[in-house]
């Protein structure tokens, strides 16, 4: 797998860690209300959702990093499988996001474009 693909995988992982922090710990901050389409009155109802989705993003980030580590430590097939699966998963989830809530189109692009780019880069030798 190319160096560019590996760098992008790590960059996406870093982005997902930031999303984890926002979703799991900072979702009550007014600055993030437009990003998540939330209102202060919703916080108790969405707490479980935001924490779970946040930690889901953390584990996805860890899978990308593990994939890069495996690639570079004698397990290229396993590493590539983790990276390709995660990129495909986020490509799919970006489509689901925009279909389920059109107002989150920018979030969908921010999730989908890096994931599609990573999928393309994994196919380029």
| Contact status, residue 12 vs residue 117, Cβ threshold 8 Å | no
Q: Token pair for residue 14?
A: 């870093």
Q: What is the pLDDT of residues 4-21, one digit of tens each?
A: 999 999 999 999 999 999
Q: What is the pTM of this model?
A: 0.91
Is the pLDDT assigned to residue 125 strictly greater than 80? no
Q: What is the pLDDT of residue 43?
A: 87
| Contact status, residue 60 vs residue 90, Cβ threshold 8 Å | yes
- In the chain, pLDDT over 70 holds for what percent of residues? 99
Q: What is the pLDDT of residues 100-109, one digit of tens each?
A: 999 999 999 9
Q: What is the pLDDT of residues 29-68, one digit of tens each?
A: 988 888 888 888 888 888 888 899 999 999 999 999 999 9
Q: What is the pLDDT of residue 45?
A: 87
Q: Token pair for residue 56?
A: 């889901």
| Contact status, residue 65 vs residue 13, Cβ threshold 8 Å | yes
Q: What is the pLDDT of residue 35?
A: 84
Whole-angstrom distance, CA of residue 120 vs CA of residue 3? 13
Q: How many residues does the chain have?
A: 125
């Amino acid at each position: 797998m190319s160096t560019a693909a590996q760098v992008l995988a790590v960059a996406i992982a870093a982005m997902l860690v930031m999303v984890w922090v926002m979703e799991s710990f900072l979702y009550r901050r007014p600055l993030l209300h437009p990003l998540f389409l939330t209102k202060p009155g919703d916080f108790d109802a969405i707490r479980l959702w935001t924490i779970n989705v946040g930690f889901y993003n953390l584990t996805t980030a860890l899978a990308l990093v593990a994939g890069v580590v495996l690639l570079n430590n004698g397990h290229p097939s396993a590493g590539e499988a983790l990276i390709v699966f995660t990129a495909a998963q986020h490509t799919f989830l970006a489509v689901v996001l925009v279909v389920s809530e059109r107002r989150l189109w920018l979030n969908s692009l921010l999730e989908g474009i890096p994931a599609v780019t990573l999928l393309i880069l994994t196919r380029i030798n």
